[in-house]
Amino acid sequence: MDELVVSTDGTSVASPVGPYQRIIALLSAMTERPGWKLSDLARKLNLPKATVLRLLKVLTDTGWIFRDADEVYRVTYRFWYTWANSYALACLRDLANRHLDTLVRETEETCFFTVVEGFHSVCLGRREGRYPVRLSLEEGARAPLHLGASNLVLLAHLPRARAEKALTFWLTEQEKKKEVVAQLERIRVQGFAYTVAQLTPGAAALAVPVMGVGSRLLGGLSVSGPAERFTWERAQEVLPLLRDHARTLGKEIEELAKQEVRDGT
């Protein structure tokens, strides 16, 4: 039997029947706009907020949806990878992968393109170096924003309010939080992050932000290899290359966004 919910105009509207139909209706709604507040989504689906919250918890726990720092629910990159076959996402990955391929030829190390998703980063692109090494950051994987060069450089270039919420989410010890805040300030000033053995034992990484118009963070490019080979001295040699690619990729992503607007996609 349909569950009836009184809408804002006082009329009763039939809601989706059964858990499977509700999940499908919720996911369909999620693709209609970038994000939803719980109350807005409940009105859209004509379901009680408690019911929608239970559905969102299931989808969040299984990695299809996440809640950002502003308590807005959004679909994850995993969703777009698996179900949506998003043209825009495919174009973004193609742009990034072209730069990663060139960086691998120039540095012979493993290279990554990462983006922010809530309090995590997501690896949208990975290209193996000449001497592949075991690294924890796999394509499609999520990682905490406060560990590793590829994540710290993203966290440092988020708006400060969002960065603060992410740190509060991950860190409960105030001394550790102060240490990371100081590290983020150094990264903002110098425009890059270099870390050793933070995500993967024995590995070092260098990362720079990919920025758009108005200092908007679009993602991050990073290079990683064994610490004994990818030393700080070697990272300094690679840094100008990495920055050049990040600047060019940022311009290309902005142009892609303009093209989508023109095409109505």
**Mean per-residue pLDDT, 126-135:** 80
Q: pLDDT digit string (tens) for 178-234?
A: 999 999 999 999 999 999 988 888 899 999 999 988 888 999 999 999 999 999 999
Candidates 104, 80, 107, 102; CA nearest to 91 is 80
Gap between the Cα atoms of 86 and 34, Å rounded = 13
What pLDDT score was predicted for residue 62?
83
Strand partners, 204: 196, 225
The pair of structure tokens assigned to 166 is 């992410």
User: Which pLDDT band holds residue 4 (cuts at 50, 70, 90)?
Assistant: very low
The domain spans of the chain are: 4-75, 86-263
Domain formed by 86-263, architecture: 2-Layer Sandwich (3.30)
Q: Categorize the per-residue pLDDT at 25 as very low, low, confident or very high, splitting at 50, 70 and 90.
A: confident
Q: Is the confidence at residue 2, as pLDDT, over 50?
A: no
User: For the domain bounded by 4-75, which CATH number is listed?
Assistant: 1.10.10.10
Query: In this model, does residue 13 exceed pLDDT 70?
Result: no
Q: How far apart (Å, rounded) are the C-alpha atoms in residues 117 and 55?
A: 20
Q: Tell me: the pLDDT tens digits for 138-187? A: 787 888 999 899 999 999 999 999 899 899 989 989 888 999 999 999 99
- Spatial contact of 26 and 83, defined as CB atoms under 8 Å apart: no
Taking the C-alpha atoms of residue 223 and residue 193, their distance in angstroms, rounded to an integer, is: 11
